[in-house]
Amino acid sequence: MGSASRVAGIDAMAFHGTHCYLEMADLATARGVDPDKYIHGLGQRQMAVATPCEDTVTMATVAAHRALDRFDIDPGEIGTLIVGTETGVDHSKPVAVYVHDMLGLAPNCRTFETKHACYGAMAGLTSAMDWISAGRARGRKALIIASDIARYGLNTPGEPTQGAGAVAMVVSERPRLLELDPTSFGDYTRQVMDFWRPLYSKYAFADGHYSIDCYLDAFSGAWRDACENSGTWEPLRLDNIDACFYHVPFTKMARKAHHRHCETEWGISVAKENEAKMTEINASYERQVAPWLELNSIVGNIYTGSLFLCLMDYLRKAHPAGGQRLSMFSYGSGCGAAFGTGVVVANAARYADHIDPATHLAQRRRLDIDRYEQLITASETADHNEAPYPDPADWDLGQGLYYVGTRDHIRQYTGSAADTP
């Protein structure tokens, strides 16, 4: 598999989220909603909440530092840095250049930001794969970071589908985790208005039901393109795939996506009344998808990183011996999508502890509703160019890398990624 000359894949991964979270049952009670609507209806148990001192820059930098440190990668080895985000901090200046500076990367490292809603990080990953395969890397590695804050405001329909976090991935010619198969990738693009955020709005606009339809149509299109590119759909068959990962703005979306995956491969449309086929789909879902949604259920929607949280959950829990084929589907509203596969590298299981964010997540602080609402309200003006400035002490934050306000229209940061727990 892979190209004739060079193979690219994921060599390292790490996650960094927020210091605070909210129990979905607490949010439901406060909003007068049956908790089952959020916990079982959406599949969400907890929701990461960013303080005014945590932004896409701080989360991306800490996740990247963690990946480099835990996998013993010298920052000087990084020749490309791409940050995928739809919640950037500037209309012009990319998050990536802040991260480049904070990590101390070399000046000849190319650096940019990709934006296509939740598809941005996958666009960065495939770009890195092409960069290496084309011979442009010259032995160097690429650092791809998905960093986002999904925030919809208090008492809005989107409030229970918020979240925040960053996933960092190092891509190299000698990957230790997952070897990407370039012959298995397919793409899909169509201009739709299912989710968008005008320049004048802090919050996004969405047509939820239409967006789900667009997502499912994009899956079918990207999967078919992948089959055409591979020349055979045999390696892409569900029978030959160990685990399936999808973009999950809420974890129940993975069930809808897998249903469409089965229908697209089998060339049929399965109604709920077809009990035999529904049983087959549900069994496939429980085996190939459901076990790898735990991190998403306790972090929430992290836009570009949601797909890769599923992959991290698999690599930390499945302990694969190597050789297992995994599928990945990325969807970004607007819309752009990609479907592709990779093969687990032998001995990848030895890095399960390097990847596992359990210790970090266990250190988070649970918010009550009053504190949560104070935090969200304070975040509304955190990026304004005047006082009061965000102060880590106001949110009981200890040592770490934090955003501390904008002065003279220049964003200010304090601390370092190395000090962040």
Tens digits of per-residue pLDDT, 49-68? 999 999 999 999 999 999 99
pLDDT at 272 over 70: no
Answer whether residue 389 shows pLDDT above 60. yes
Cis peptide before 335 (omega within 30 of 0): yes
Joined together, the tokens standing for residue 275 give 């009990």
What's the pLDDT at 417? Answer: 97
Per-residue pLDDT, averaged over 260-286, amounts to 88
- State mean pLDDT over 249-272: 91
Long-range CB contacts (within 8 A, 24+) of 126-131: 126/185, 126/338, 126/340, 127/82, 128/8, 128/80, 128/82, 128/171, 129/8, 129/171, 129/180, 129/182, 130/182, 131/80
Q: Which of 166, 151, 142 is nearest to 59 (CA)?
A: 166
Query: Which parts of 104-200 fold into alpha helices (H)?
Result: 120-133
81's CB contacts (< 8 A; 6+ apart) are 96, 99, 100, 105, 109, 110, 111, 112, 142, 143, 145
- How high is the pLDDT of residue 270? 75
How many percent of the chain have pLDDT more than 70?
98
Domains of the chain, each with CATH number or no CATH: 9-419 (3.40.47.10)
pLDDT in tens, 83-110: 999 999 999 999 999 999 999 999 999 9
Per-residue pLDDT at 302: 98
pLDDT at 356 over 60: yes
Note the pLDDT of residue 75.
98
- The CA dihedral of 389, 27, 84, 2, to the nearest 10 degrees, is 150
**What band does 276 get if pLDDT is binned at 50, 70 and 90?**
confident
CA distances from 330 to 163, 240, 266, 270, 339 (A): 18, 20, 21, 23, 7
| Mean pLDDT (the chain, rounded) | 95
Read off the pLDDT of residues 2-27 as tens digits, 9 standing for 90 and up: 434 578 999 999 999 999 999 999 99
- Tens of pLDDT, residue by residue over 232-254, are 888 899 999 999 999 999 999 99
Per-residue confidence (pLDDT) for residue 4, from 0 to 100: 47
- How large is the average pLDDT for residues 125-146? 97
Task: Please indicate whether residue 269 or residue 306 has the higher confidence score (pLDDT).
Answer: 306
| Per-residue pLDDT tens over the stretch 164-217 | 999 999 999 999 999 999 999 999 999 999 999 999 998 899 999 999 999 999
The DSSP bridge pattern shows strands 110-114 and 78-84 to be parallel
Task: Inform me whether the pLDDT recorded for 1 exceeds 70.
Answer: no
**Residue-level pLDDT at 66:** 98
Collapsed DSSP state (helix, strand, coil) of residue 110: strand
- Positions annotated as catalytic residues are 86, 118, 247
| Residue 273, pLDDT score | 65
Which pLDDT value is given to residue 274?
82
